[in-house]
Chains A and B, each alone.
Chain A
Amino acid sequence: MKNIVIGRYVPGNSFLYRMDPRTKLIALIALMVAAFLIQSFTHMLVSLALVTLLLVAGRISVKRVYLGLRPLMFLLFFTFIFQVMFNQEGDEIFTLPLHYSLLSIVAAAAVVVFWFMTKKHVRFKLFYFLFTVAAVFAVLHYIDFGVLFGEGTFRVFEEGLSTAFFIMVRLIIIIMLSTILTITTKPTDLNLGLERVLKPLRIVRINTEEIAMIISIALRYIPTLLDEANKIMLAQASRGVDFQEGKLKDKVVQIISLLVPMFIISFQRSDDLANAMEARSFVPGQPRTRLHVLTWKRLDTFALTLSLVALVAVIVVRVV
């Protein structure tokens, strides 16, 4: 659980850290929209490369972002495989005849069981999983004797492959960009930036300051609550709760023993926080003076222009 990176600020020093949070927020939105509009294969790869370059240039550890992506990897690959298997539009680009016989099905099952048993000991789990998937198909393809139940074909269509690719790369780009934002921006700055960016909404009588405050407090408390959950699990484990095992009935009790203290502690924390804010004369909706005043630098103008140009360019390419 400690590996969850979303919403965590990591101190550092690079141009990304020096940028104004407003710039980063607007640029993030612009680039996200751009990522959704891109329709060419090469452009997609180029933008993925550019985002990676941004990481490297901004001196953010690529490993850290990769670790942040890892919990979502399963989702990404699931979407990918789902698309490839069931989207049957466009030209057929790959066919693999499959044989369903007693022997081949047993062999395929054996491969899956072997994967399940050994996956704990393998370092590159994802590659190992892909390797297993490939092995299952190879088994079904090559073992063609024994009692046949039927024949089938595994087809991959152009449309399916490209949709799968686009969805995956888009998601990766979006996650990377938002991770860059939260890693390089202090929660307080993010709050301030959000407040300013949302300011036009005041015209329609939306209290943007409060919304910004709510968002930033929520982000701020994600890691804290994860730490709390970890401590509660340890405390309950001392009382004989085995979070790894148990029947369904036990599982329910286990989850309750985690959730109840979690709720109580969350309410307590928010109560404390509210008191601490009030003790420092925080009144919702009242104008506040700032300790850190946002300053617009030349870097910001440059970065903002660049990302808006990127967005416009993508739109132009798409329309033309």
Chain B
Amino acid sequence: MYRYDEFDERFVRERVAQFADQVARRLDGSLSEDEFKPLRLKNGVYLQLHAYMLRIAVPYGTLNARQLRQLALIGERYDRGYGHFTTRTNLQFNWPKLRDIPAILGLLADVEMHCIQTSGNCIRNVTADHFAGVARDEIEDPRPTAELIRQWSSGHPEFSYLPRKFKIAVTGAQEDRAVTRAHDIGLRLRRHPDTQETCYEVSVGGGLGRTPMIGKVVRDYLPKKDLLAYLEAILRVYNLEGRRDNKYKARVKILVHEIGAEEFARRVEAEFARLDGPSINADPEEVARIAAYFAPPAYETLPAVSNTLEAARAANPAFARWVEVNTTAHKVPGYTAVTISLKPAGQAPGDATSAQMRTVADLAERYSLDELRVTHAQNLVLPHVRLRDLPAIWRTLGEAGLAEANIGLVTDIISCPGLDYCALATARSIPIAQAIQQRFADAQRQREIGPLGIKISGCINACGHHHVGHIGILGLEKRGIESYQITLGGDAGENAAIGEILGPGLAAEEVPAAIERIVAVYLAERLEAESFIDAVRRLGLAPFKAAFQEVPRAAA
């Protein structure tokens, strides 16, 4: 894992001191709210419905035990004993007091964490594949790239006031687990077919929100050494030409859409050619220094099969089921990556109590080489687990209410906080997620349905990624009540697609039955071993639309 050097440390400490001073000036009235708001947003402080909210960056979703324990402590000391993991792999506290935020930022700096650039019109926290470094389908670990971008983009003077926010995701794997095509810039590490050299495929102009777009590839094989200069060229074109007159048309996706991907790429290449590459690109020594932090940890040499694990599986079907659903094949024999579901029935998706955070921190320290990950699907990962340790981990997770075996299934729902917390929301998300979880609680049924991603957003800004949900749910307000629009056929992976609207909005209580009907069409029509999304692609929308129209409506 990356460790701060003296520059990182100083940068973060200086920012804490600066923001503490800004808070003091706000409290003594020297700064008005209009003056203070952009400053607090630069430091992750929002004002939500019931309270302030603090968004803490978890760069590329990587944490160690000490950091997670510190988050648990902050949750207990300054919040209400829980936090919410987000689709940008960040952690949000829902109840901090403004007067306490400088102290909280100090505690974060103690464990090399901060809230810088988790909001505002700047380059946001860079996300990556949550199985980085361990996935079998990976060409190269994306985290050194993500860390390099974090360093380059932190406090970047030219890109601190972009037309709008800017999100970057990196993957090094075949399967896209980082939703790269729904990002302003998506980077995919791949080998050049001729030279076998590792390069980046660069896509630009993806994004969700009110105008969802899938990113367009503007460079097929960017040499790794040119990364920062190329990013600088993209950001410069966007910064100069992106719209500032209309917030809803200010994201780079609109610029790419309006002038076309080819023209956008041409302008980027022209800018790239003008830039003094060597003065912008990272020094190879620095790149190597960063990469060294992500070198594989000291794995043991283990047999590929663990007799302890196999015996436990044979003896306990519930455990066997959890292993089947919540673990992922690891690069190294004898190891596995465990995904801990933060979606137990009845809980808000992505919420974890301080006690649960401590349990997970202890497990990471004891069983996962002191490392864990946050996923964009709002779950946690223990990336380096010996197969033989799975029974002990499962027992401990069970005691903490964290042993739900539902990763990738119908109850593993992505949900934004919605109108239960968020000032921008137009409808609630969490109770919808809970109602669907309840409806599909039966484990056998979930298994029968197989992989199915439901994603819920409480407003058009789409923090809950509903556009790329196999089934997407968007909460809106319609004539003074909450109304939910259902989309079908979205995909967050390498075959990224935006879902299509099935029909008129539904009342909250009608949503579970509608999902039920959609699932019933799939179960009736699917071919042998055909997944939900594959069936939707093959069948098209028509049979689902027909079933959707038969959903009984409370009101006309």
Is chain B a partner of chain A in the same complex? no
